[in-house]
Amino acid sequence: MPQNPKAIVLTGASRGLGRAMLEQFLKLGHSVAACARSPIDLTIPSGNKSFCTTLDVCDPAAVQSWADDVVAKLGAPGLLINNAALINRSVPLWELTPEEFSSVIDVNIKGVFHVIHAFAPAMIRRGSGVIVNFSSGWGRSTSPDVASYCATKWAIEGLTQSLAQELPTGMAAVPLNPGIIDTEMLRSCFGGSAGSYPKPADWAKNAVPYLLQLGPRDNGRPLTVPNMPVD
């Protein structure tokens, strides 16, 4: 068991970075409440209080019900990670349908809000905890054919830094650029060249210890996982 086990909330945990983080947190002995729209096929180590839930972060009532269950079982999270996200088809903005644009906005911005709205009050009552909202290099720069994704990640940067100004002393909100990792999302943009970047499992071995050491001193700081390729 770790010296200071944390109760961790993690969204988008069925694949990619979310799945890799989930596995690494469990390996280190932390308790994780993980969710994803797809079922998470994972065996929880014996004696660990972690649990996985099939959940759409776009459904505020379902998110609130999940949060109530998590807090009842694990207490207020010490670390809340908003990882769930979608990316648009790689096409110019005017070629996206309104439905495609809205789906990216709904998950990447509204979903983050729903999770914060559901969990922040318990964290504030306890007076501690770190909220990490996954941003991107494309939340601090832009590229063609990913306009809606860029828009959401720029929004996450602003939302998180404003939240940081609202939180009480002892807490933190951090917009985090994970770096460039070989995921399905990256392959939708980079194609086969995504294979030249680190795999999620390798990334998580570096990123998870970094996430676990974040604290009040990091409140409002736009951070990037160290030792990783960046946009």
* Residues 51/127/223/206 CA torsion (nearest 10 deg): -40
Reference 226, options 186, 161, 181, 177; nearest CA is 177
CA angle in degrees (0–180, nearest 5) for 136-26-13: 40
Query: What separation in angstroms does the CA of 133 have from each of 11, 64, 97, 103, 220?
Result: 10, 18, 26, 18, 11
What gap in Å lies between CA 104 and CA 175, rounded to an integer?
18
* Residues recognised as catalytic: 149
Q: Are residues 211 and 194 in contact, defined by beta-carbon separation less than 8 angstroms?
A: no
Q: How far apart are the first and last CA of the chain?
A: 36
In the chain, the amino acid numbered 118 is A
What gap in Å lies between CA 151 and CA 27, rounded to an integer?
35
